[in-house]
Chain A
Amino acid sequence: MKTELIGSKSGAGASCAPPLLELAGVTKSFATTVANDDISLSIAPGEIHAILGENGAGKSTLMKMIYGVLAPDSGRIRWQGEDVLMRNPAQARSLGIGMVFQHFSLFETLTVAENISLSTSQSAAKLSPRIAEIGNRFGLPVDPSAMVHSLSVGQRQRAEIIRCLLQQPKLIIMDEPTSVLPPSGIPPLFDTIRKLAEDGCAVLFISHKLEEIRALCHRATIMRAGKVVAAVDVATQTNRSLAELMIGREIPQPSRTPAKPGKRPALEIRALTHEPEDPFGTRLEGIDLVLHPGEIVGIAGVSGNGQKELAAILSGETSLSRAERDRVRINGESCGDLGPGQRRKLGLSFVPEERNGRGAVPEMTLVQNALLTAHPLGMVQKGLIARRDARAFTEHCISAMNVRCSGAAAEARSLSGGNLQKFIVGREIRLQPKILIASQPTWGVDIGAAAAIRQELIRLRDSGVAILVISDELEELFEVADRLQVLFRGRLSPSVDRADANSSLVGEYMTGGFLQQRIDSEAVAA
């Protein structure tokens, strides 16, 4: 039996073949903003085509229209030379368009084959050999009978891709597929994508990571603020030229001086082992972490390896039992059993990874959101809210962080994710903390603003604040951190100094390499 992936075999990478998908003048606007403005795009069979743009540039809206989730306001979509009206994703799939989402839609308690059979009419048993066959052919090894919860993120992604391939698509849309993978998982994915392209399947690859696009794609369409600013042949571009097209100006580089960390630790975790309350959470095991004033420590690792749990234990949102209070210390003071409010009084401030509903209340105004954690800065007098002070603080925060919004009275939900993040980071910095814990501080923030946030972190470090940055973007950690530790399956790697940190060592740690090392060194010690 041969699984046929329909498509012209001759078209690999060629731009002269008749386009598989063509968009002309596609426009989509929402209540107040034009998300896509007059977008034109064409993709040939067998082409790997990048859609490059910052968050908020309109990439997802465009993909949703191609995949039939949203309907364009105007413009036309042409599929194999014919105008089509994409009513819903089912129709898109029947035409031969598949999509691999950034967030997986697999049931943890079913096997791979069972999950895949849910979206087709065939039984899991019948599908298994086909899954294995497609897996072999495209370098996607995954056991069809494995339970999804036992799979790594990379394996889950493979299952998603196989599910997509079973529909025999002519075009696959991949939404930031590398963002969930450790560095070692990226080359195999790229091999798969290249094989798909050789077979004549076109791939629409969405990303904002320039290296990857240059390594993989043939052509790139670059979007900025809802418009196509350029469609380029990737081979003729450098990282720098792509980035400048993407953000429309030069990228600021943060400047830094060597760290001068203090002697007394500002924050310590000693031999912490913690069972998560959430059954799908990660167990933290034997965590030792020391953070000094005047240094930035980065926690690297693919998300889902215990970052969430670690951050909640540090912030106090998860508090330990009284018996374990010595496990966490702030400036030498045991505080494992203290709640977030009391830890804030000890000088800790915290930027959480979720901004809506945790770092900020979406339904409330920015002034009210400033009060959330900044109220101790004289914004409460005799139990009443000092509204003028709160407003002044908010306005200061907005202008200092260059938050784009309609003013201090704007509701938090009216801001884009990146702008809200800038506001939250600005608010936490302005609390004048002694310790700042930032979880994914620049997630979803555009390049220029991310650089500003990183610069702010370095400035804060120089003023003697102890900073912990938890991020799954290695580039970011290499840029800001003085030391790095990697979290893998709830265990923390040894600390790596900035000078010794490179992607191969950290990449090895990110797949658990340090565990072997630790066992070896224990053996030597014994």
Chain B
Amino acid sequence: MRMPWIIDARTSNSRLVPIIAPLAAVIVTVVSGLVLMSFLGVEPGKALYQLFIAPLSTAFNVSEVLLKATPLLLIAQGLAIGFRAKIWNIGAEGQLILGAIGGSLLPIWFNDSQNVLMLPAMIVVGTCCGMAWAAIAAALRTRFNANEILVTLMLNSIALQLLYYLVAGPLRDPFGFNFPQSALFPDVAMLPTLFGGARVNAGLFVAIGLSLVAWFFVERSMVGYKLQVGGVAPHAARYAGFSEKRAVWLSLLIGGAAAGMAGVFEVAGPLGQLQRVVSPGYGFAAIIVAFLGGLNAIGILFAAFFMAVIYVGGDIAQASAGVPYAVNSVLQGILLITYIAARLFVDYRVRPRRAISTMAVS
């Protein structure tokens, strides 16, 4: 079919290009947020304040933003490594849930423990659980060529049902009046908070530290390079003898580990116990964060922060202006779609066909 326009790849890209698309997406998201809120009867000035300025206005709100940025950052860094290799792990939410479950086992079983090794042990167990969940998808992909997008996506639902079962049964607090939640964790199982009264905890530093590790892994290590070649030019990877199976395993395991660790940080941080709800969709939002950050470790730092602002701003708007909870998801959706659309215009040139064919022969 002949479209009335022509799309061709831009060959010469300036250094600014990686920043243009995310910036455009952020601006469009802010503007649409305001428009959306004014439809709901909130005047634009107030909406702007509640959604995007209030989250940064007080120390407590900033700490909430950083608290939410922690899991987003961790998961997005893990996912981005896989996405660069074109291994599409959509199951971070499920891997996070498994991490939360795994991380909860020790503090539930040894509820009166005083052992300082409790927290490190929880992190190890939870991270391994997240990896194991992702490993199911890796095994099915490498053994039976099952599409990892579908498998990881469906494993999310299974993970959620598993969590419901566990908090309602085996892991339920026996003295908890039958509420579907576990016992509260002992102090040794909790991440230290950074300053009094705020909930942001040491997990933030771990996430930032691991971001630097991720940057180093992608930019400097041979394994990171091999993964990237596999994503950009699979035939070249095969030609060079880089194993595709290894790339699938590594990508999914890294993503699963990061999401699993984020799960531990949720139960050992703001939650303090295992509940039916351990994540407000961090695993999905992190996919947007990874892309908004250009799959680049440094870019993801900023993207995670912005996404956390939307989370907190949405909560504030909900509480003070009575807008529905869905505002959050809508803004996330707008962010992703505008980013993808912006990438088209950044990577390709779109010209009307007529202008080309009538180009004068002077």
Q: Which residues of A are interface residues toward B (Cβ below 8 A)?
A: 31-32, 71-72, 74-77, 83, 85, 87-88, 315-317, 339-344, 350, 352, 354, 357-364, 368, 371-373, 375, 380, 383-385, 387, 413-414
Of all chain B residues, the one with the shortest Cβ separation from A340 is: B241
State in angstroms the CA–CA spacing of A506 and B295 once bound together: 54
Residues of A within 8 A of B356 (CB): 71
In the A-B complex, list the 10 residue pairs whose CB atoms are closest, starting with the nearest: A341-B241, A340-B241, A87-B357, A71-B359, A361-B233, A358-B235, A380-B222, A372-B240, A357-B233, A361-B236
Chain B residues lying within 8 Å of A354, measured Cβ to Cβ, are 235
Check A360 against B236 for contact (C-beta < 8 Å): yes
* B60 contacts the other chain (CB 8 A): no
0/1 string, B217-237, CB within 8 A of A gives 1: 000111101000100110110
Asked whether, in the complex, the Cβ of B239 is within 8 Å of the Cβ of A352, the reply is: yes
Given contacts A71-B357, A340-B241, contact A32 B232 (CB under 8 A): no
Q: What A residues does B242 contact at CB under 8 A?
A: 341
B145 at the interface (CB under 8 A from A): no
Report the minimum CB–CB distance from B251 to chain A (whole Å): 17
Q: List, in ascending order, chain A residues with CB within 8 A of B229's CB.
A: 361, 364, 372
Given A357-B233, A364-B232, A372-B236, A341:B222 Cβ within 8 A: no
A391 to chain B, nearest CB (A): 14
A363 and B239 contacting across the interface, CB-CB below 8 Å = no
Q: Is B320 close to A, CB under 8 A?
A: no
* Sample (16) of A-B pairs whose CB atoms are under 8 Å apart: A71-B361, A74-B362, A76-B361, A316-B241, A340-B241, A341-B243, A357-B233, A357-B235, A358-B233, A363-B232, A371-B222, A372-B240, A373-B239, A383-B222, A413-B11, A414-B11
Judge whether A340 and B361 touch: CB under 8 Å.
no
Complex formed: what's the CA distance from A375 to B362 in Å? 52
Q: Which residues of B contact A375 (CB under 8 A)?
A: 222
Mark contacts of B340-362 with chain A using CB atoms, 8 A cut-off: 1 yes-contact digit, 0 otherwise. 00000000000000001111111
B binding-site residues for A, Cβ under 8 Å: 11-12, 220-223, 225, 229, 232-233, 235-236, 238-243, 356-362
Q: How far is the CB of A350 from chain B (nearest CB, A)?
A: 7
Please measure, in the bound complex, the distance between the C-alpha atom of A263 and the C-alpha atom of B244, giving whole angstroms: 37
Q: Which residues of A contact B11 (CB under 8 A)?
A: 31, 413-414
A383 to B361, CA, bound (A): 57
CA distance A74 to B242 in the complex (A): 48
B150 CB to nearest A CB, Å:
24
Name the CB-closest residue of B to A414. Answer: B11
Q: With CB as the reference atom, state the residue of chain A lying closest to B11.
A: A31
User: How far is B362's CA from A85's CA once the two chains are assembled, in angstroms?
Assistant: 10
* Number of residue pairs spanning A and B whose beta carbons lie under 8 angstroms apart: 82
A341 touches B357 (CB 8 A): no
Complex Cα–Cα for A164 and B151 (A): 50
List, in ascending order, chain A residues with CB within 8 A of B233's CB.
357-358, 361-363
Chain B residues lying within 8 Å of A372, measured Cβ to Cβ, are 229, 236, 239-240
Q: Give chain B residues whose Cβ lies under 8 Å from the Cβ of A317.
A: 238-239
Q: Are A350 and B239 in contact, with the CB atoms below 8 A? A: yes
B240 proximity list for chain A (CB < 8 A) = 340-341, 372-373
* Bound-state Cα–Cα, A400 to B242, Å: 27
How far apart sit A75 and B361, CA to CA, in the bound complex (Å)?
A: 7
Please determine whether A359 and B357 come into contact, CB atoms closer than 8 angstroms.
no
Contacts A76-B361, A357-B233 known; 6 new A-B pairs at CB < 8 A: A71-B359, A85-B361, A315-B239, A339-B241, A363-B232, A384-B221
Distance of A343 Cα from B360 Cα, bound (Å): 56
For A77, what are the chain B residues with a Cβ–Cβ distance below 8 Å? 361
Q: Are A358 and B236 in contact, CB atoms less than 8 angstroms apart?
A: yes
- Residues of chain B within 8 A (CB-CB) of A363 are 232-233
Closest to B354 in A: A87
- CA distance in complex: A357, B359 (Å): 33
| Contact across chains for B220 and A339 when beta carbons are under 8 A apart | no
Q: Closest residue to B242 on the A side, CB-wise?
A: A341
User: Contact at B239–A358, with CB atoms within 8 Å?
Assistant: yes
List chain B residues, Cβ under 8 A from A358. 233, 235-236, 239
Alpha-carbon gap, A409 to B241, bound state (A): 24
Q: Given A340-B240, A361-B236, decide whether A88 and B221 contact each other with a Cβ distance below 8 A.
A: no
Given the known interface contacts A71-B357, A76-B361, A350-B239, the answer about A31 and B232 at a Cβ–Cβ threshold of 8 Å is: no
Given A341-B243, A350-B239, A357-B236: A32 in contact with B12 (beta carbons within 8 A): yes
Give Cα A339 to B362, complex, Å: 57
CB distance from A30 to the nearest CB of B (A): 8
Taken together as a complex, chains A and B put the C-alpha atoms of A373 and B232 apart, in Å, by 16
Whole-angstrom distance between the Cβ of B84 and the nearest chain A Cβ: 12
User: Given that A358-B236, A359-B236, A361-B236 are contacting pairs, would A88 and B357 also be in contact in the complex, using a CB cutoff of 8 Å?
Assistant: yes
Q: How far is the CB of A182 from chain B (nearest CB, A)?
A: 28
**Closest Cβ of chain B: how far from A137's Cβ, in Å?**
34
Q: How far is the CB of A308 from chain B (nearest CB, A)?
A: 12
Residues of A within 8 A of B223 (CB): 383
A-chain residues with CB within 8 Å of residue B360 when the two chains form the complex = 85
Q: Residue of B at shortest CB range from A77?
A: B361
Q: Are A384 and B220 in contact (CB under 8 A)?
A: yes
Q: With both chains docked as a complex, state the minimum distance between the C-beta of A479 and any C-beta of chain B, in angstroms.
A: 27
Residues of A within 8 A of B220 (CB): 384-385, 387
Bound Cα distance A87, B12 (Å)? 26
Q: How far is the CB of A227 from chain B (nearest CB, A)?
A: 19
Residue in A closest to B358 when the chains form the complex, CB atoms: A87
B225, B241, B243, B362: the one contacting A368 at CB < 8 Å is B225
Output the least CB separation between B142 and chain A (Å): 14
Min distance, Cβ B357 to any Cβ of chain A, angstroms: 4
A362-B235 Cα distance, complex, nearest whole Å: 12
Question: Which residues on A sit within 8 Å (CB–CB) of B243?
Answer: 339, 341
| Neighbouring B residues of A72 by C-beta, 8 Å | 361
B163 to chain A, nearest CB (A): 36
From B2, which residue of chain A is reached at the shortest CB distance? A88
Once bound together, how far apart are the Cα atoms of A32 and B358, in whole Å?
23
- Tell me the nearest residue of chain B to A371, going by C-beta: B225
Q: Taking CB as reference atom, which chain A residue is nearest B240?
A: A372
CB neighbours of A75 from chain B (8 A): 361
Which B residues lie within 8 Å of A364 (CB)?
229, 232
Known A88-B357, A384-B220; judge A342-B232 contact (CB<8 A): no
B241 closest partner in A (C-beta): A341
Q: Determine the chain B residues whose CB is within 8 A of the CB of A83 once the complex forms.
A: 361
List the B side residues contacting A74 at CB < 8 Å. 361-362
| Distance, CA A413 to CA B358, complexed state (A) | 30
Residues of B within 8 Å of A357, CB to CB, are: 233, 235-236
Residues of B contacting A315 with CB < 8 Å? 239
Which residues on A sit within 8 Å (CB–CB) of B232? 361, 363-364
CA distance A72 to B360 in the complex (A): 8
Question: Would you give the shortest CB distance from A438 to chain B, in whole angstroms?
Answer: 14
Give CA–CA (A385, B221) in the complex, Å. Answer: 6
Residues in B with CB closer than 8 Å to A387 are 220
Query: Closest B-chain residue to A369, C-beta based?
Result: B236
Residue of A nearest to B357 (CB): A87
Q: For residue A71, which residues in chain B have a CB less than 8 angstroms away from its CB?
A: 356-357, 359, 361
Assembled-state Cα–Cα distance A356/B305 (Å): 38
Assembly CA distance A342 to B242 (angstroms): 10
Chain B residues positioned under 8 Å from A87 (CB to CB): 357-358
Give CA–CA (A350, B220) in the complex, Å.
26
Q: How far is the CA of A72 from the CA of B235 in the complex (A)?
A: 36
Distance from B55 Cβ to chain A, minimum over Cβ atoms (Å): 37
Q: How far is the CA of A380 from the CA of B225 in the complex (A)?
A: 11
- Report how far A489 CA is from B241 CA in the complex, Å: 28
CA distance A342 to B12 in the complex (A): 37
Q: Which residue of B lies closest to A355 (CB)?
A: B236
* A32-B12, A71-B357, A88-B357 given; A359·B225 CB < 8 A: no
Q: Which residue of chain B lies nearest to A338 when distances are taken between CB atoms in the complex?
A: B241
A473→B319 CA distance, assembly (Å): 76
Residues in A with CB closer than 8 Å to B239 are 315, 317, 340, 350, 352, 358-359, 372-373
